[in-house]
Structure 1
Amino acid sequence: MTSIDTPYNLLVILGPTASGKTSFATQLALRLDAEIISADSRQIYRGMDLGTGKDIEDYTIGDVTIPHHLIDIVDAGYKYNVFEYQADFFKAFEKVKANNHFPIMCGGTGMYIESVLKKYKLINVPNNDELRNTLQNKTLEELSQRLNEYKSLHNQTDTDTVARAIRAIEIEEYYKTNPEIKLDLPEVNPLIIGVNINRQARRKKITNRLKKRLEEGMIDEVKTLLAQGINPDDLIYYGLEYKYLTLHATGQITYKEMFDKLNVAIHQFAKRQMTWFRGMERKGANIHWVDAFEPIDERIDRVIKLLKA
């Protein structure tokens, strides 16, 4: 465990895509003798690197590699869910503590983060083929409207495809008729830090990053996954980069259509992430916001002071 005397047993670094969360978290980890537990719903997949923005190089600072968890833990094509994430997080949480290190959760998937902070009592929801059949011809807009009618926890930042929206509705319907289970989860007392980046800068960074990743071979990454036998629909299910890159790689849209639609979709995704985080605040989460462009040493010093409080 870190030598800092702190009442907290978990540090959370959250923020929208392209806010620089990972590099900030790894610098903090170096100072705190900490390990990072990812809270990203796409980075758990092996072989999905450029499209998910893993930035694995950020975990190496000089000759030190920061230990990290819940990245590259399942094969592409698998449909990982929040039930599994919650269980895997607490396994990693206990492992980090057993290593006598401080745990830092870092990511932008709001539902994953809240499943831990609020210790949601989750059920491993089975497929409902009858319900799926009634929803399969609905548009994403129609499905999203139905999701808005529910008052529970499901994260619409990750329902940007029809398949994911149907799965979210399937889960909500299951909860209506099935009681929550009792769970004995470790107590978490988190310090939550949000990395804020102004809208104009965020938009510019998202577009530039998209161009860079395309130049680095993001389309080839998708073609490799398809060549390995992964069903195109399974990649489209993941949304964002994998939705539009797969549509392009399979000849359904042009390169320009892919770029333009994906660029807009990532901007919309970042906006939904910020909406989710503001919603967390309205529900009582105390998020301490730092500016993405403030010198990193100053941000680190501020976080350490908050940890000591």
Structure 2
Amino acid sequence: MITLLGPTASGKTALAVRLAHRLGSEILSADSRQVYRGMDVGTGKDLSEYTYEGTTIPYHLINIVPAGTKYNLFAWQHAFHEAYAAIRERGIQHPILCGGTGLYAEAVLRGYHLPDVAPNPVLRESLQGLSLASLRERLTSYGPLHNDTDLDSPQRAIRAIEIADYIQREHLAGADHTEYEPIESLILCITLPREERRARITARLRQRLDEGDLIGEVQRLIDSGIAPEDLIYYGLEYKFVTQHLLGELTRDELFTALETAIHQFAKRQMTWFRGMERRGFTLHYIDGLLPREEQLSQALEYLEAWEQK
């Protein structure tokens, strides 16, 4: 397998599509929010990107559950392995896992499995009222495989702590939650200079707000019957645009708060990817400022060297 990581706005999908086109491969998405149908603008889900030189590259794990669902790693991993097995059965040698949700990618690379954890009312009650920063700190105390990258609402942080607490208690009791074999993979990671990354994020956010109908998308989700608190749960664009529609943020406040949150999110993504190296993975970096064809050439060189090992 080839795994292609990178922070938001780094051009992961464009490179993955070119790589899949060259190799005759298919793409598995490692994005925790692109699984939701109807959440397109806010998640950067431009499906037209999957067509290159007249060929549409097959993609998986996108648009698989309705918006409003609280999808999790337990469900995603099962869906990943079903799709991955089907791809390999079609004789495809190098499926491409592409995304920015580091926990999802690392979970399949390690063979790590999170169980379907039932709610813990006592624990939830004890965590109510804590700040998001305190909840993130609590989560990281459970170990490196408990992701705080995507957590920008207390609800998501509390759910993550609930899962981490369950696993810790089960581990202490001698239970093993490794269900899948690790997958051997070449790991590529697109990098950008900090100021370039920030500039791309800001430009993309302006485009989505001014031309991309981001606010309209969130309004339609609310009109379809999805509760505002459920959209806030998803964080980032859906959190802040919902607050704007509820009258809690002006348009200018929406832009400023969301821009800051996305910059912080991208920083946490890169922190996670670097942490993977400390946890034993080898990442091969590709300069996101290079032209796409040069990025593709570099990726193919890494693949050739990896296959010869």
TM-score (norm 1): 0.94
What is the Cα deviation at residue 122 of structure 1? 2.2
Letter in 1 for 2:62: I
Alignment of 1:1-309 (within 5 A): 10-101=1-92, 102-179=94-171, 180-181=175-176, 183-215=178-210, 216-309=212-305
Instruction: Report the count of equivalent residues.
Output: 300
Distance change in 2, residues 1:202/1:17 (3 Å): same
How many Å separate the matches in 2 of 1:296 and 1:141? Answer: 38
**Offset, 1:123:** 1.3
Q: Displaced runs of 4+ in structure 1, greater than 3 A?
A: 179-184
Unaligned 5+ segments in structure 2 are none
Identity of aligned residues (%): 50
Give the aligned residue type for 1:193: L
Structure 1: 5+ residue stretches without partners: 1-9
SS at match of 2:276: helix
Distance 2:301 2:62 in 1: 29
Decide which moves more: 152-161 or 264-273: 152-161
Q: Which 10-residue stretch deviates more, 232-241 or 95-104? A: 95-104
Q: Any idea what the Cα deviations from partners look like across 1:74-99, whole Å, max 9, x if unmatched? A: 01111111111111111111111122
**Distance between the aligned counterparts of 1:41 and 1:235, measured in 2?**
14
Of stretches 27-36 and 175-184 in structure 1, the one that deviates more from structure 2 is 175-184
Q: Counterparts of 1:183 and 1:293 in 2: how far apart (Å)?
A: 38
Give the TM-score normalised by structure 2. Answer: 0.94
- Give the partner amino acid of 2:292: I
Q: 1:129: Cα distance to partner?
A: 1.4
One-letter amino acid of the counterpart of residue 243, structure 1: K
Work out whether residues 15 and 194 of structure 1, in 8 Å CA contact, stay in contact via their aligned partners in 2: yes
Following superposition, the deviation at residue 186 of structure 1 comes to 4.8
Instruction: Measure how far apart 1:226 and its partner are.
Output: 0.1
1:5 is matched with which residue?
none
